[in-house]
Amino acid sequence: MKLSTRSRYGTRILLELARHPGGEPVQVSEIARQQKIPGKYVEQLIRTLKSVQLIKSVRGSKGGHQLNKAASQITVGQVVRLFEGHTDLVECVGHPDKCSRSSECRVRGVWIEATEAMYEKLDGVTIADLLTETQTPFTHRRC
Domains along the chain with CATH numbers: 5-132 (1.10.10.10)
- H helices of the chain, in order, are 5-18, 28-35, 39-51, 76-84, 91-94, 108-123, 127-131
Residue 97 burial (C-beta neighbours within 10 Å; 0-12, 13-18, 19+): exposed
Cα–Cα distance between 122 and 103 in angstroms, integer? 29
What is the reported pLDDT for 130? 93
First to last CA, the chain: 21
Q: Write down the mean pLDDT value for the chain.
A: 88
pLDDT(61) > 80: yes
**Most confident among 18-27, 72-81, 84-93, 127-136 (mean pLDDT):** 72-81
Least confident window among 18-27, 62-71, 94-103: 94-103
Q: What is the pTM of this model?
A: 0.84
**Radius of gyration for the alpha carbons in the chain, expressed in angstroms and rounded:** 18
What is the model's pLDDT at position 133? Answer: 59
User: CA–CA separation, 143 vs 131, rounded Å?
Assistant: 26
Burial group, residue 102, by CB count within 10 angstroms (0-12, 13-18, 19+): middle
Average pLDDT over residues 72-78: 96
